[in-house]
Amino acid sequence: MPRISVPRQPTPRQTRRILMGIALALVVAFAQWKGWLPEDHPSGSGKKPQTIPAPPTGNLPPSGEWQELAGCTLVEDRDNDGDSFQVLYQGARYTLRLYFADCAEKRVTQLTRERVAEQGKYFGGLSEEATVKAGERGRDFTLPRLRAAPFMVMTRWEKVFGGPRIYGFVTVADGDLAELLVREGLARIHTKGVDRPGGGTSRAEKEKLTALETAARKARRGAWGMR
């Protein structure tokens, strides 16, 4: 009779390695999809990492030099929220992150749960559910304003944690978006700050935002009134 070859079964140690590799690949793929990893980090998902195209001028401005992007429009995307969203400028897409303002997360995942708890604590001890609702309200405040008319972005192409997003100031019809969010109690003063283009210092901007936040807290606007 011909000899039948029986495939060798993996050992328990090999099985553990395989399962750990699969789990790691899934976590990395999810983090890459959310934009939490640097652009050159392998995603393990078979998709090319998201990259930021060069500015429309074709060359990056000198370090620290501000560039005005007038006439930006919103790119609809499921991950757009109150402080981070995709914009279109002269045919190129960018994922923008506001300076100074941090809206609550609009969903809870294993990777965001700790951040949601931190945000809820900031707004006076909100539950996880209330914090997420505050994040949804931040999104629902921002996106209609970006859809309503072209808006202006000031950026110096500074990346957020080395990932695909870039920091910037956004001006909509009724003012600076970060200031509007803080005024309405829909964002905390938390993320990176910087001296404003034109001479306003980071310290002066934080003082202005703090005054807006104090008024919002006293009036129980936005997240401040959700407890």
Instruction: Say how far apart CA 65 and CA 162 lie, in whole Å.
Output: 18
pLDDT tens for each residue of 178-225: 999 999 999 999 988 999 988 889 999 999 999 999 999 999 999 999
Residues 102-112 pLDDT 10s: 999 999 999 89
Pairing of strands 67-75, 151-155: antiparallel
The pTM (predicted TM-score) of the whole model is 0.74
Question: Looking up tokens 């029986």, which residue turns up?
Answer: 6
- Residue 40 CA to residue 44 CA, distance in Å, equals 12
